[in-house]
Structure 1
Amino acid sequence: MPLLRVCGSSIFAFIIWRLIKRLRALNSPLTHILGPKKEHWLKGNYHRIFQDGLRYNLDLVQKYGGVVKIYALLGQEQLYISDPLALHHIIVKEQNVYEETDMFIMSNRLIFGEGLIATLGEQHRKQRKMLNPVFSLANMRGLLPVIQPIADQLHTILNAQIPADGSVVEINLLPWLSRGALEYICQAALGHSFNALDATKGNEYLEAIRTLAPSTLRLIFLRPFIPMIVRRFSLYWRNKMMDWVPGDALKDLRHVVNVMDTTSKKIFTEKRAALENEGFVGIAGNRMQGKDIMSIMLQANASSSSDDRLTDSELLGQMNTIIFAGFETTATAICRIFWILAQKQDVQARLRSAVRKAKRDYADAQGLSSPWEDVELPYDKLMGLPYLDAIVRETLRVYPPTSLLSRTARQASVLPLHQPIKSASGEMISSIHVPENTTLIISILASNHNKEIWGEDASEWRPERWLSPSGERLHLGDGEGNPTNGVSLGVKNGIKYPGVYGLMMTFLGGGRACIGFKFAEMEIKQVLTTLIPRIHFALPASTDRNGHVKEIYWKMNGLQVPVVRPPAGDNVTAQVPLDLRKVREQDFVVN
């Protein structure tokens, strides 16, 4: 009980401290920034942008512009930013000023260890320097043959559930695509198979990875307290707190973290031993010649100078970071694409026809006699299919798997704006003074929907925007924001978003951009080119006993969560039920 009193007193003191800061904030330098009124004394209006907040997020920018003031927990004022010039300063030009928040860094360090998303400054730059070559195009080409058989296995599993007579069956795609995404990243990153696609085999590590995101979301309003708790209590006392705190949420998360830590250490030890024995034992005991990401990283680290070499704890931190980052968001993106194709039958038919032509052309060029559906496209052919590329890019732009990220100003700074905003006094301002320790929310969603940059139809899913009139892939710019071939997509008067992928913000940019975006893109395209030629997808058509048809709805809770709306669904359970059948000739575009 004394521990409970200490914990309670600390939290009470924290709340009092924040309330005092709130009173002092009456003369805050952010009072001139417009934004929605505070809705709750504790939650402000912070909860509105995270809890099914798609429309709310877009309306904020529509009403207030590229910089909006919002109220977070206990009335803390934060800046919600989608202005392209401001974001360029935040994530590129002054990235040393605008760093990840203490809450983000400490939370990730507790969960993943000292990986890329849990480090700052020189330590982060050192890790990035080591990992950038690991995710090179050459290594991605080497990983494609690893994930192709997994996509084929996924097709086999789905095909076994589809009636042979050509009739339709409803299948919830989400668990299968999630299992596939886990197997792709585990084999590619670790060179280790967890048999994720075998539903008859349970695996504690896979279950831990799958439940990590829901477990952390259950505790989202406790995250602001993490820096204070970590700084004031040792690991021993933090564990004691978890034992004493009522409820299972914290205990469940601790179990997930312990399973991830134990498993990663075991695999790391095996990989290290294999390296020392001058060989790598890969999937199912076969030699992979060290092509998986972890093996490449260990080899690179071993050959680095002592100044550049990462510690074992840093290497371990990368393992679970890469697995989690490469699983959750990619599975969501793939599900979203199939949901879109199920609605837009003309797009699905056109994509299927484009894939068939590409596979037939490649088979003819290589003298292959196997059925065109079984042909595996090499990396450059796969990544270069214009219509496939347009569909993937447009989906990731309109529906980014992660919609919001945070930064904190480590020192006072001035943010210039591309588009001036109206202040509380009615004056138009083109720059904003950002006080030290101000939290800024980077709106990936609002940036990707910016009508000035992407056009009046920015919120419309239209893959043709990425193609020339003749159907060829557009080259967006020369790296300096200047359009080429007369094309200005993603660039307006020399202004563009500093995104690392397609001039959008989906994978961020700068020194903390998503390091594995090329792998994610390759995985998505491989799954599509494997399943679309053989399986037809449609929205659910059957009714339940009350005559209701399932309507899929995507909640935006930080991450995108697909559910089935009432009355046919509970609006809570994540699922993507679609009608599947075998492909017929009429499912292709008639030339």
Structure 2
Amino acid sequence: MLLDAVWLSLGLLILSGTWTLYKNYTNPLWRLQGPPRGNFFLGNLSEIWKVKTLTGWVHQYGRVNTHAGLFRKPCLVISDVKAVAHVVSHANDFPKDESMRYDLSKLVGPGVLVVEGEEHKRQRRVINPAFGNAYVKELVPTFFDKALQLRELLVEKCASNPRGYNTNAIEWMSKVTLDIIGLAGFGYNFHGLDDNVGKTELQIAFDAAAKSSVVLRMIQAKLPFFRLFPMGNSSMLREAQKSMDRIGARLLAEAKSMITLGEKMSGGGRDMLSLLVRANTSSDLPAHQKLSDKDVITQVPTFFVAGHETTASSLVWMLYALTRAPEVQKKLRQELQAISTDTPSFDELNALPYLDAVLRETLRLHAPVVFTERVSAKDDILPLSEPIKDRNGKMLDGIRVQAGDLILISLLGMNTDTAIWGADALEFKPERWMTPKAGVTAPIPGVWSNLMSFWGGARACIGFRFSIVEAKALAFTLFRAFEFELAVKHEELIAETSIVQRPFLERDMTAGPQLPIIIRTVA
């Protein structure tokens, strides 16, 4: 009996695998232009982590192309404005792929970044007040407190290095954004900028999760069968998740306590977690829409990732861009030094046109998240801005997708499309934002500045306002006080992506992400 069951299971597995391979190889998406399919098992997956690859495919094969995933399953790549707008405006029909949600959930739990449909709407409805403009304005002093602390630390380092302080910019950007999200997000002091303080428990937990093997995580995410077996990263991820849940529970209890005390005194805690708890306990919110304590706790690692990694990446790439464009750096510094205070208000910060242009251009050319993956929940047709030619020479004015088809949206491809931005689309030119051509970026369905860097529609980045103002406050402080020079040739750096894109020294990939720069104080 047992032997019969084993043979039956094996037979079903073979049949299922054969059927899957047949569907992969006969999928109509292979009619589209695209790169060679790569090896049988990984397809082109090993290539897409290199940031230049996807934009290269767009330029070589067009705004709609197909590459191979695991077992050569076709993956549609789109950067056509009309097709992307269709996906953005039909979020329920194009949710995150299950494998992507599984992998994300191992890092941040089932928070607002992961869930779909009605559950996403429910969580987002309660979280929204913590990311509104009114609250972000109140956070500006916190941003500047940490920005000025970083400035003083770098002044000391520069004083000890008269020829310039040679350092890895990623370390400093990561520390300062970590401190900011800790305090602003959930009233938790990471002490990232304090050299004499070791890593906190939450940092250690998240580091353990983030550093787990990308390859093993990908295999388990893409092939559910392998989730049944413990892999090298399994125990690490479980322990990290337990730590984050335990810390989240403690922070939630503290937030509730502060709110209770604050109602008797002066309004309670003002961090995002406290605002979330206050909104969730409001008598105006129907009981069926309230989040459970478990739901609230899952937002802690979500705040951590969304409010830390993306802003740090944006600032690192701004440094990279301005070290390659010293005349732009000088012009920005002149604007910032004309301000009489070290701590401008929210409105004063947003009234600096060149700082705004530099940030927009950075997020256009160096978007922290370079692509996002969706899956078609039903058969559909993606409309196109203009017809394309398939491998057989046939003209197509729409792309037919089937339920289960993977769709990868190249955000960077849209942000650097020459048809939208002009022949200089790959050049760093903040001036393009000072006198934008009328309507040139109007079709792009992004939530901010007609860029796709923060996505768009119902699934747009909930913390984009927080990230923008935080980046401006840090850039204001740093470029006002220092000049920055790249410590290596820019050709030695390459960009790769995991959660966000980061620069690496190509000759020293094992050292991890780094941006070697030289910092000098200015009068």
Structures share fold, TM-score greater than 0.5: yes
Residue in 2 that maps onto 1:562: 503
2:423 is aligned with 1:456: yes
Residue in 2 that maps onto 1:553: 493
2:34 is aligned with 1:35: yes
Contact 2:34–2:61 under 8 Å retained in 1: yes
Percentage identity across aligned positions?
29
Residue in 2 that maps onto 1:260: 244
2:128 is aligned with 1:149: no
Letter of the 1:554 partner, please give it. I
SS in 1 for 2:262: coil
- Per-residue CA deviations over 1:279-304 (Å, capped at 9, x if unaligned) read 599xxxxx884321111111111112
Deviation larger for 166-175 or 512-521: 166-175
Counterpart among 506, 517, 523 of residue 578 in structure 1: 517
- Point out where structure 1 has 5 or more consecutive residues left out of the alignment: 1-5, 231-237, 282-286, 361-371, 469-473, 475-485, 542-548, 585-591
Q: In the superposition, relative to structure 1, how do residues 497 and 356 fare at CA in structure 2: closer, same or farther (>3 Å)? A: same
Contact 1:143–1:291 under 8 Å retained in 2: no
Residue in 1 that maps onto 2:221: 224
Deviation at 1:30, TM superposition (A): 2.2
Residue in 1 that maps onto 2:300: 319
SS in 1 for 2:407: strand
Deviation at 1:169, TM superposition (A): 2.2
Deviation at 1:110, TM superposition (A): 3.8
Correspondence 1:153-168 to 2 at 5 A? 153-163=149-159, 166-168=162-164
Deviation at 1:421, TM superposition (A): 1.3
Q: In the superposition, relative to structure 1, how do residues 551 and 389 fare at CA in structure 2: closer, same or farther (>3 Å)? A: same
Counterpart among 472, 481, 489 of residue 525 in structure 1: 472
Please provide the CA RMSD for this pair. Answer: 2.6
Counterpart among 94, 105, 110 of residue 109 in structure 1: 105
2:376 is aligned with 1:409: yes
- Alignment: residue pair count: 513
2:184 is aligned with 1:188: yes
Question: In the aligned structure 2, how far is the partner of 1:346 from the partner of 1:189?
Answer: 36
SS in 2 for 1:441: strand
2:352 is aligned with 1:396: no
SS in 2 for 1:34: coil
Correspondence 1:412-423 to 2 at 5 A? 412-423=379-390
Q: In the superposition, relative to structure 1, how do residues 212 and 16 fare at CA in structure 2: closer, same or farther (>3 Å)? A: farther
Contact 2:496–2:504 under 8 Å retained in 1: no
SS in 2 for 1:277: helix
Counterpart among 310, 315, 318 of residue 291 in structure 2: 310
Deviation at 1:166, TM superposition (A): 4.7
- Per-residue CA deviations over 1:176-197 (Å, capped at 9, x if unaligned) read 2101111111111102212121
Letter of the 1:561 partner, please give it. R
- Point out where structure 2 has 5 or more consecutive residues left out of the alignment: 1-5
- Per-residue CA deviations over 1:99-124 (Å, capped at 9, x if unaligned) read 11111223333432331012111111
Q: In the superposition, relative to structure 1, how do residues 165 and 314 fare at CA in structure 2: closer, same or farther (>3 Å)? A: closer
Question: In the aligned structure 1, how far is the partner of 2:292 from the partner of 2:244?
Answer: 19
Letter of the 2:397 partner, please give it. S
Contact 1:178–1:331 under 8 Å retained in 2: yes
Deviation at 1:352, TM superposition (A): 0.8
Q: In the superposition, relative to structure 1, how do residues 416 and 211 fare at CA in structure 2: closer, same or farther (>3 Å)? A: same
Residue in 1 that maps onto 2:62: 65
- Per-residue CA deviations over 1:203-224 (Å, capped at 9, x if unaligned) read 2312333454332634343243
Letter of the 1:91 partner, please give it. V
Deviation at 1:349, TM superposition (A): 1.1
Question: In the aligned structure 2, how far is the partner of 1:190 from the partner of 1:156?
Answer: 25
Residue in 2 that maps onto 1:46: 45
Q: In the superposition, relative to structure 1, how do residues 53 and 352 fare at CA in structure 2: closer, same or farther (>3 Å)? A: closer
2:91 is aligned with 1:91: no
Contact 2:219–2:226 under 8 Å retained in 1: no
Deviation at 1:152, TM superposition (A): 0.8
Letter of the 2:481 partner, please give it. R
2:122 is aligned with 1:126: yes
Residue in 1 that maps onto 2:310: 329
Letter of the 1:529 partner, please give it. F
Counterpart among 300, 305, 316 of residue 279 in structure 2: 300
Contact 2:205–2:241 under 8 Å retained in 1: yes
Counterpart among 202, 215, 218 of residue 212 in structure 2: 215
Correspondence 1:320-359 to 2 at 5 A? 320-357=301-338, 359=339
Contact 2:260–2:268 under 8 Å retained in 1: no
Deviation at 1:165, TM superposition (A): 8.2
Contact 1:554–1:560 under 8 Å retained in 2: no
Letter of the 1:577 partner, please give it. P
- Per-residue CA deviations over 1:75-131 (Å, capped at 9, x if unaligned) read 111211111101111011x22111111112233334323310121111111112222
Question: In the aligned structure 2, how far is the partner of 1:298 from the partner of 1:102?
Answer: 29
Residue in 1 that maps onto 2:262: 278
Q: In the superposition, relative to structure 1, how do residues 17 and 572 fare at CA in structure 2: closer, same or farther (>3 Å)? A: farther
Question: In the aligned structure 2, how far is the partner of 1:44 from the partner of 1:10?
Answer: 27
Letter of the 2:360 partner, please give it. R
TM-score if structure 1 supplies the norm length?
A: 0.81
